[in-house]
Structure formats: C-alpha cells, structure tokens
C-alpha cells in the first residue's frame, strides 16, 4: 500500500468517476488527496463515504505524493505534470499532451502492462476512441496479426464535457419545439444531427481525433506497419462511444473464432445474436467498464477481413477506469 495518491481534476466529470473507482476497487493508498483549480479549493467531495477537501493545484501540493492521476485539459497537464515529477511523483496523465512523446509509455493494462515500468515519471492513458478499438484488436492481433483497420466512430457528447451534454439536452428540446438552437460547444447544432468532425483540421483532410487513433494504435502495439483509417463523428448520444470496425488480419479468422477470442479477453464482453436483436448499444454500455462487441461477421469485400461493432463508456474504460488500472499496477510495483 502506498501512502498518498493524488487525483488532479477531481471536480470534473472524469475525476468524479476516478473517485468512484478508487473507492469501489479499494485502491491501495492510505491517503487520497484531491487537487483542482484554486476556484475549487475548499470544496468537499465524497470518496467511498469519506468527505475529502479539495486543495489548490500548486507545485507544493505534490510533496509526499507517490502517484497522481491527472484528468485535465492539455494546457493544465503541460503545467502541472512537471511540478509533480520534480517532487518525485509518478503521474498517470489522461490528457493528450504527453501521449506521443517517445519517452512516455502509452498504456492500456490489458494490452501492454510491461510498458508501465519504462516510465520516467509520466505514463499516458490513450484517447477514449483508441482505447476501445485496440481492446478489440488485441486478441485478434495476437492470434492472426492485424494488418489494417477501417473505423468509423459514433462518439457521444460526453467526450466534450458536461457543457456538451447540456447543449444536447437543450438542443433536443429546441429542435422538438422548433425554437432556435444554441451551438456553443459544437460548431453546429448536435440535436438530431451528426457532425463528422472531432478535433481540429489537419493536413491531408484528417482531424486531430482521427490522427490520434492512427498514431496511438501504432504506439500501443509498437508496430507502425498497422494501417488505420479513421472517420470520427459526433452523434446526439449522451454517453458511450460506438465504433464500426473492419479488421483485416494476416492469417484467416472465422467470425466464430474471433468471437471466442474476444469473449476470453479480459475487459471485453461479446454481445452478439442478430436474430434476437442482441448487440451492444450505448444505453446498455453506459456506467459499465467493459468494451462490448457484436455484429461479428465476415467482410465479403476483403480477404481475411472481419466486420464488427463495439461500444464502450468513454468516461470509464476510455478514461477513468484505464487510468486507475494503471495506477494500481504502479502501486503494486512500488510496494513489492
């Protein structure tokens, strides 16, 4: 058991789930320290039945902290992470800021736990859309060597924060009542709409979210030969991301073999019976930690190619749960 775990960004949507996970999983720390912006300092938050006071995020706040989990915007992470590392704290960072730095491991514990010990004070947790995709890829890659993935995402508004959820709710009411809609979080109204842009425009016509899925996948598998073509779309769903996947492997796999491999992989649940209208959906995946997979079938247009559908709560395995799992591995290493 370590002495102190800090949660940075404890008052945010992901921060709150991190605290729930810390309590429900009995995280091995004697003390939990909550850090957030100065305007949140002094607030109290429940963690496993205990009321914990939020402290201001400062360099001195990391003294005596062995592990910190950070769930903050990129610009905040860029500032506080070096403070923590200087104090000897190992940071599990949720932001995108450090993910592609060569000396920062990008970790999903079910896939590359060995990378955790390679850290220099910082461990990055991947993007939510990448995480659920590679969780599906991993058992298939181990068995048949994945060469190419075509993915279209259907990403919920919760990935853009609490304000985005409110904008969806207000927008749906306005759309139903045929009154004017406001678009403050998104470039276009999200109610009854699909927005095929997540992130900024990049050279070549991709968005930053799409490039993350390519680059992060290759880094996690340590294989830059894996081809990934992503189209990322924001949809009017409150929670849980969905993805349509076409996965091409070097060796042939039948749908039945793929379903068996996936059903035995930790953190993945197969939910697939088309004749009974059984398949993963956002309403069923919200609030759960697994990645759910269904509609597993042959892709008749390609050799050694399977099509499937996966859904996962983007705030849990896509963010909070993965970070807590990494921190658990760290805590075990520190106390062995």
Q: Along the 336 residues of the chain, how does pLDDT read in single tens digits?
A: 899 999 999 888 899 999 999 999 999 999 999 999 888 888 899 888 889 999 999 999 999 999 999 999 999 999 999 999 999 999 999 999 999 999 999 999 999 999 999 999 999 999 999 999 999 999 999 999 999 999 999 999 999 988 999 999 999 999 999 999 989 999 999 999 999 999 999 999 999 999 999 999 999 999 999 999 999 999 999 999 999 999 999 999 999 999 999 999 999 999 999 999 999 999 999 999 999 999 999 999 999 999 999 999 999 999 999 999 999 999 999 887
The DSSP output letter for 195 is: B
Contacts of residue 232, defined as CB under 8 A and 6 or more positions apart, other chains included, come to 129, 152, 153, 155, 196, 197, 198, 199, 207, 209, 210, 213
Q: What's the whole-model pTM score? A: 0.94
- The structural domains of the chain, ordered by start, are 2-125+319-335 (3.40.50.720), 130-314 (3.30.360.10)
| Contact criterion met (CB below 8 Å) for 324 and 16 | no
Residue reference for tokens 């929670």: 239
304: nearest Cα among 259, 230, 247 = 247
Q: How many Å apart are CA 252 and CA 126, to the nearest integer?
A: 29
Helix (H) or strand (E) holding 50: strand 50-56
Would residue 71 be called left, alpha or beta, if left means φ above 0 and alpha means ψ between -120 and 50 degrees?
Answer: beta
Helix (H) or strand (E) holding 24: helix 13-24
Q: Which residues pair with 268 in a beta bridge?
A: 291
Question: Which of the residues 97, 119, 141, 241 is marked catalytic?
Answer: 241
How many other CB atoms are there within 10 angstroms of residue 238's CB atom? 14
Question: Which of the residues 128, 141, 232, 310 is marked catalytic?
Answer: 128
Q: Which two tokens stand for residue 314?
A: 């983007």
Question: Does 241 participate in catalysis according to the annotation?
Answer: yes
Question: Does 232 participate in catalysis according to the annotation?
Answer: no
């Amino acid at each position: 058991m370590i002495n102190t775990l800090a949660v940075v960004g404890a008052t945010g949507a992901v921060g709150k789930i991190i605290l729930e996970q810390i309590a429900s999983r009995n995280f091995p720390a004697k003390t939990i320290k909550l850090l957030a912006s100065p305007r949140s300092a002094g607030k109290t938050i429940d963690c496993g039945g205990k009321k914990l006071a939020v402290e201001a995020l400062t360099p001195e706040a990391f003294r005596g902290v062995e592990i910190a989990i950070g769930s903050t915007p990129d610009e905040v992470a860029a500032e506080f992470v070096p403070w923590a590392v200087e104090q000897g704290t190992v940071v599990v960072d949720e932001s995108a800021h450090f993910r592609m730095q060569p000396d920062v491991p990008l970790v999903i514990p079910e896939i590359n736990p060995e990378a955790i010990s390679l850290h220099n004070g910082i461990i990055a947790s991947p993007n939510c859309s990448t995480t659920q995709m590679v969780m599906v890829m991993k058992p298939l890659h181990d068995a048949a060597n994945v060469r190419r993935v075509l993915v279209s995402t259907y990403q919920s508004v919760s990935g853009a924060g609490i304000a985005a959820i409110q904008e969806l709710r207000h927008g749906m009411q306005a759309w139903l009542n045929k009154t004017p809609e406001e678009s403050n979080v998104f470039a276009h109204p999200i109610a009854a709409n699909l927005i095929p842009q997540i992130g900024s425009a990049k050279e070549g016509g991709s968005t930053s979210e799409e490039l993350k899925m390519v680059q992060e996948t290759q880094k996690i598998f340590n294989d830059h030969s894996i081809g990934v073509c992503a189209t990322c779309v924001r949809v009017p769903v409150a929670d849980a991301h969905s993805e349509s996947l076409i996965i091409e492997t070097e060796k042939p796999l039948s749908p039945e073999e793929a379903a068996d491999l996936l059903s035995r992989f930790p953190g993945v649940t197969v939910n697939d019976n088309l004749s009974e209208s059984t398949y993963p959906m956002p309403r069923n995946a919200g609030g759960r930690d697994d990645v759910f997979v269904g509609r597993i079938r042959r892709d008749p247009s390609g050799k050694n190619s399977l099509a499937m559908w996966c859904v996962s709560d983007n705030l849990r395995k896509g963010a909070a749960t993965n970070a807590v799992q990494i921190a658990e591995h760290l805590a075990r290493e520190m106390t062995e």
